[in-house]
Amino acid sequence: MSDSRSSYTRRNVLRGALFTAAAVPFGLTLASCATGGGGGDDETTGGDESSAPADADNPFGIEEGSTVETVIFNGGYGVDYVEFATAIFNEMWGGEATVEPTTEITAALQPRFVAGEPPDLIDNSGAQAMGFGAILPQLEDLTDVVDAPNLEGTTIRDTLIAPNVLDSGMYDGKLAAINYVLTVYAVWYSKSLFDANGWTAPTTWAEALELGAAAQEQGKFLFAWGKEAATYYQTLAIDSAIKQGGDEVRLALENLEEGCWSKPAVQSVFTAMKEIVDAGYVKPGGSGTFFTDAQAQWSLDQDALLYPSGSWIENEMKDNTADDFQMMGVPTFVVDDSSALPATALHSEAGEPFIVPSDGANVAGGKEVLRIMLSNEAATNFAKTKLAPTVIKDTVPEDGFGSTALVSQVEMLGAAGSDTFTHKFVGLYGLNQAQLVVWNSFLDGSKTVEALTSDLQAITDEARNTQEVIPVS
């Protein structure tokens, strides 16, 4: 078992320490370690690109019968939607496009990036995704995919659900990733429960506090949280602060600025949340509860009325949702009427970033599979099977394939119009784990607003001082 096995290895390492001293004089060239080998590989970007003439049917000049290797994050959405696209690819080009599912993207691909032999298309998603800061120079600019026609003949750029939907894949002016799935961050509730009690979904923190009092009367709570997902409340707070304070707040946080957590908009949100925590409207014990168990307390037991999350929540809790729950979303609350963005403004983010490494054996093939995925046929298939919208518009019918949450998402997106925003510093600099600790303490009531602010600022400051900051504007 783990302890005996790991002790053997550690023991060997210890013995190794003795040998290390002996081995160094033998002149072992340290540089030829995991990073050793050819330095010139970086320059060779997909030799296939000029091998066949490019036209509207074949914009990337793909060769008949060529093989494409894709590595796809096997998370909430599975991998079958990519297999749908590779099947079309195989039919079109008579080649072989393979799909390798994995949940450990970094562990599986980091050595391959170092060796200069990455796969052709990657869905860099999940908790173990590779940080974009580290791999950015090795990725293709995907602008030519967006400017290519889809399988139905329309330019992909014209089929996007909103012009700014690609922004989440822009790093320093380069479209390094195309995020495929549209995620709406909102506060979710049960329409049937709210209707039965005559409640309406709050749009400000003051209304939320009132609803909390109403919930308490019935022995229920306003919010519930789980230990691995305490930072969902951070997302809620950031979204609310951005809606209240506008772009200034977003940019300060995104650029890891000094004092960014002390901005008045952020502070007013923290204070409002603290009021809710202190009033006892948050179900206690979240810091010791598995997040899916906590989510079931909301969706199945209905102990809590509201849950802030991305729109994957419907799919994630599908088997643990009360009958006739009628999941609906409401955009993140604002603090008051003086907010910089309207109450309908929405944190919507395209997720599941698909990337094409420049060193891949078949760069054109990777782009081609991506082009197929962005076509109406494949995108509709995704919306239908996963009950989630993609970045391609007009793929969800009126009835949302029977999902109230999907209809609600489309409505929220429509109401928001161009007032959508996103932020990505938490994932980009790998801050989530450290922030979880802080938020767990805040939500269980043991941290003040001041302590929350200074702890989060310390995490931001450390990231700024130890990692390369990619500017956002």
Partner 1 sequence: MTAPVTGPGVSGLRSGARARRKARWTFDNISFFLVFLGLPLALFLLLVIWPFIQAVFYSFTDWGGFTQEFDIIGLANYERLLNDATFKTALGNNIKLAIVVPLVVIVVAMIFATLVTVGGRGIGQTVGVRNSGFYRVVSFFPYVIPAVVSGVIFSKVFDPSNGLLNGLLPEFLRQNWLGQVSTALPASMFVIIWGAVGFYMLLFIAAIKAIPAETFEASRLDGAGRLRTMWSITLPSIRENIQTAWIYLGIAALDAFVYMHVLNNSGGPDNTTLVMPQYLFRLAFSQNQFGYASAVGVAMAVVTLVFAGVVFTINRLTGGTTRSN
Using the rule CB under 8 A, is 12 a contact of partner 1? yes
Q: Which stretch binds partner 1 (CB under 8 A): 15-23, 70-78, 144-152, 197-205?
A: 15-23
469 binds partner 1 (CB under 8 A): no
290 is a contact residue toward partner 1 (CB under 8 A): yes
Single out the segment in contact with partner 1 by CB under 8 A; choices: 44-52, 122-130, 177-185, 366-374.
Answer: 122-130
Q: Decide if residue 284 touches partner 1 (CB under 8 A).
A: yes
Which of 54, 214, 437, 469 binds partner 1 (CB under 8 A)? It is 437
Taking the least distance from each CB to partner 1, the nearer of 108 and 209 is 108
In this complex, which beta carbon is closest to partner 1, that of residue 38 or of residue 402?
38
**Binding status of residue 1 toward partner 1 by CB under 8 A:** yes
471 Cβ contact partners less than 8 Å away, ≥ 6 residues apart? 172, 255
Of 325, 41, 291, nearest to 191 (Cα)? Answer: 325
Among 107, 170, 213, 279, contact with partner 1 (rule: CB under 8 A)? 107
* Segment near partner 1 (CB under 8 A); pick from 3-11, 54-62, 381-389, 415-423: 3-11
Closest approach of Cβ 433 to partner 1, in Å?
A: 5
Q: Which is nearer to partner 1, 133 or 342 (CB)?
A: 133
Q: Are strands 174-175 and 170-171 parallel, antiparallel or unpaired?
A: antiparallel
Minimum distance from residue 294 beta carbon to partner 1 (Å): 8
| Per-position x/- string for 362-401, each x denoting binding to partner 1 as judged by CB under 8 A, each - no binding | ----------------------------------------
Residue 440 in the binding site for partner 1 (CB under 8 A): yes
Beta-bridged to residue 99, according to DSSP, are 70
From 154-162, 198-206, 380-388, 427-435, span contacting partner 1 (CB under 8 A)? 427-435
> What mask of x and - would describe binding to partner 1 in positions 227 to 266, judged by CB under 8 A?
xx--------------------------------------
Which residue, 66 or 440, has its beta carbon nearer to partner 1?
A: 440
Q: Does 445 bind partner 1 (CB under 8 A)?
A: no
**Which of 242, 256 has the CB closer to partner 1?**
256
Closest to 331 in 3D by CA, of 240, 200, 226, 398:
240
20 binds partner 1, rule: CB under 8 A: yes
Min dist CB 109 to partner 1, Å, is: 9
Whole-number CA gyration radius for the chain: 24
Query: Which member of 193, 340, 436, 469 binds partner 1 (CB under 8 A)?
Result: 436
Q: Shortest approach of partner 1 to residue 137 CB, angstroms?
A: 7
Residues 6+ apart with CB under 8 A from 432: 231, 426
Secondary structure of the chain as H, E, C letters: CHHHHHHHHHHHHHHHHHHHHHHHHHCCCHHHCCCCCCCHHHHCCCHHHHCCCCCCCCCCCCCCCCEEEEEEECCCCCCHHHHHHHHHHHHHHCCEEEEEEECCHHHHHHHHHHCCCCCCEEECCCCCCCCHHHHHHHECCCHHHHCCECCCCCEHHHHECCHHHHHHHEECCEECCEEEEEEEEEEEEEHHHHHHHCCCCCCEHHHHHHHHHHHHHCCCEEECCCHHHCCHHHHHHHHHHHHHHCHHHHHHHHCCCCCHHHCHHHHHHHHHHHHHHHCCCECCCHHHCCHHHHHHHHHCCCCEEEEEEECCHHHHCHHHCCCCCCEEEEECCECCCCCCCCCCCEEEEEEEEEECECCCCCHHHHHHHHHHHCCHHHHHHHHHHHCCCECECCCCCCCHHHCHHHHHHHHHHHHHCCCEECCCHHHHCCCHHHHHHHHHHHHCCCCCHHHHHHHHHHHHHHHHHHCCCCCCC
The reply on whether position 288 binds partner 1 by CB under 8 A is yes
- 346 within 8 A of 331, measured Cβ to Cβ: yes
Find the part of the chain contacting partner 1 (CB under 8 A) among 127-135, 371-379, 403-411, 417-425.
127-135
Of 179-187, 249-257, 282-290, 318-326, the segment contacting partner 1 by CB under 8 A is 282-290
**Piece in contact with partner 1 (CB under 8 A), picked from 162-170, 286-294, 368-376, 393-401:** 286-294
* Residue 287 in contact with partner 1, rule: CB under 8 A: yes
Asked if residue 126 binds partner 1 (CB under 8 A), the reply is no
Instruction: By CB under 8 A, name the binding residues for partner 1.
Output: 1-4, 6-7, 10-17, 19-20, 23-24, 28, 30, 33-37, 39, 42, 106-107, 110, 113-114, 116, 127-128, 130-131, 133-135, 137-138, 227-228, 283-290, 293, 297, 429-430, 432-434, 436-437, 440-441, 444, 446, 463, 466-467
